[in-house]
Amino acid sequence: MTISTENIRVRIAPSPTGDPHVGTAYIGLINFLYARQHGGKFVLRIEDTDRARFVATSEQMIFDALRWLGIEWDEGPDVGGPFGPYRQSERAAIYREYVEKLLANDTAYRCFCTPEELEAVRRQQMAAKVPPRYPGTCRNLTNDQIQLKLFESTPCTIRMKVPVEGSTTFRDELRGEITFNHNNVDDQVLMKSDGFPTYHLANVVDDHLMQISDVIRAEEWISSTPKHVLLYQFFGWDAPRFWHMPLLRNQDKSKISKRKNPVSLVYYRQAGFLPEAMINFLGLMGGGMPAEINNASEKFTLQEMIEHFNIRNIRLGGPVFDLTKLRWLNGEYLRALTPEAFYAELRKSVLADEYLSAIAALVQTRIETLSEFGNLTGFFFSDNVLPSPEVFLPKKRMLEETLAFAGEQLTVLEAAEWNASAIEAALKQLGEQQGWSVKENFMLLRTILTGSQMSPPLLESMMIFGKARTLDRLRRFIDAQKKLAAQKK
Ligand code: GLU
């Protein structure tokens, strides 16, 4: 099919659940290029209906990270536009209105099953090794039964009524037709008992109301697409075109994960990657870019991508997020800078005034001559802090248990809100649970992060160093030690 170049409207719809993810930038880039090439509009919509996973600072971090990369949107929560609001939490009344339409045309129904009942069914299904599915208990309640439950104020969710027979087929623009048998499509909850929509309902209603022509998203959403296509049918709407992009992968081909790679864009920015290198690298993922088209170099700018990108050239084999390649590319961009521009980059990141002055405040009372500044603060500037076991291993501990505990520290820090008292409390709680004294616990972290048993105050140092780089350092320490241990075996 040739794509009509009229009224192309695309979107990304990130959920603000944490740090901005490299995958969001990758999908954002492809949507952005596609919109620019077709004279269309690129929308940024914030899907913040999952209140349990909501992180207040996340939205602004997403905006900052995308702008840092040069990915600009035409419509969105902060820039407005004719189809707003662009934050789903501000559209609750719209979803209620639309779910009523489905109830009225009998393509959705109220479900009064309690969480306990649903859990019991799920357990049975797991035990019987059948995929978990809603058994349809409330599908055929009579009107009287429903009215009675509502009269008694029994909490309810609203589910879509997936036809029992048959199948749903949709076209993926990169893969061709994909068919899902309705046996395998669950009666998805569309609205939760708190009146908030689920992703599926809000996503379809918004894509329709925002007149999205092409849904370009990661392939992990393929299995949700039959539900979406059914919802379009239930509403009597035309579905957009669907393009599912290959997932970024770790070196071992598993789905990219923070256990194996830093996935936060905040990390790459703070660790001194240039936006030009990062966007170029993302452009190499999956193909479709000038390198393949022109047989030219692998280096290209965003502008060149806009000119040459071809979405149909995307390769479906999972592109590997290869840090070695990214570092090489970044080095190329750094070398191409004039000395003045290079210095300016240093001053914007690892030697920024704000960073230096925060570090200075930490050591003012701890040095006797200014020239000692570097002795105490080297770990803030060096990316190669790898303490030996003599330094990091507590006296009465074995290597294996120590690495396992460091892994627990990593998990706790990942989940922690980044302020000193929250981190301190979370680490102490972990230590208590695992039988590690406060001293052992904090000394281990100190040596891992600073390379030494003597350092400026740990928690304050971590605040300055930042969450993304702290986690990365801890992760690399654990990886490196595990590799060393494996070599010794
Ligand atoms: N909110 C979804 C996400 O976090 C959007 C997926 C989609 O593009 O439909 O990725």
- Per-residue pLDDT of 182-205, as tens digits, reads 999 999 999 999 999 999 999 999
Question: Distance between alpha carbon 58 and the CA centroid of its chain, in Å?
Answer: 10
Atom of ligand 1 at shortest range from CA of 224:
9
CA of 46 to the centre of ligand 1 (A): 9
Q: Which of 203, 216, 229 to mutate to test the pocket of ligand 1 (most atoms within 8 A of CB)?
A: 203
Residue 28 CB contacts under 8 Å (≥ 6 apart), including other chains:
12, 66, 69, 71
Mean pLDDT of 341-361: 95
Instruction: Please indicate, yes or no, whether the overall pTM of this predicted structure exceeds 0.85.
Output: yes
CATH number of 91-239: 3.90.800.10
The token pair that represents 293 in the structure block: 């088209």
pLDDT of residue 300: 87
Res 290: pLDDT = 62
User: How far does CA 385 lie from the centroid of its chain?
Assistant: 27
Residue 16's pLDDT band (cuts 50, 70, 90): very high
* Residue 294 pLDDT: 57
Counting ligand 1 atoms within 8 A of each CB, the residue from 22, 212, 217, 248 with the most, and so the one to mutate, is 217
- 63/67 Cα distance (integer angstroms): 6
The alpha carbons of the chain give a radius of gyration, in whole angstroms, of 26
Domain spanning 9-87+249-330: which superfamily? HUPs (3.40.50.620)
Residues of the chain with CATH 1.10.10.350: 364-488
**pLDDT given for residue 489 in this prediction:** 72
Evaluate: CB of 206 within 6 angstroms of ligand 1.
Answer: no
Q: Return d(Cα 258, Cα 135) in angstroms, integer.
A: 36
Average pLDDT over residues 445-459: 94
Cα–Cα nearest to 206, from 426, 415, 13: 13
| Alpha helices (H) along 172-301 | 199-209, 225-235, 265-270, 275-284, 290-294
- For residue range 415-433, what is the model confidence (pLDDT) as tens digits? 888 999 999 999 999 999 9
Predicted pLDDT of residue 295? 57
Question: Worst-scoring range by mean pLDDT, 215-224, 241-250, 290-299, 389-398?
Answer: 290-299
Query: What is 364-488's CATH number, 1.10.10.60, 3.40.50.920, 1.10.10.350, 3.40.50.300?
Result: 1.10.10.350
Q: Which one, of 214, 180, 179, 172, lies nearest residue 31 by Cα?
A: 214
Determine the atom of ligand 1 nearest the C-alpha atom of 27. 8
CATH 3.90.800.10 boundaries in the chain:
91-239
Q: Return the percent helix, strand and coil in the chain, to nearest 5.
A: 50, 10, 35
Q: Say which residues have a Cβ less than 8 Å from residue 146's Cβ, sequence separation at least 6.
A: 110
- Ligand 1 atom with minimal separation from the 11 CA: 8
Looking at residue 453, what is its pLDDT?
A: 93
Evaluate whether 103 touches 150 at the Cβ level (below 8 Å): no
* Residues 465, 380 contacting (CB under 8 angstroms): yes
pLDDT of the residue at 344 = 96
β-strand pairing of 214-218 with 157-160: unpaired
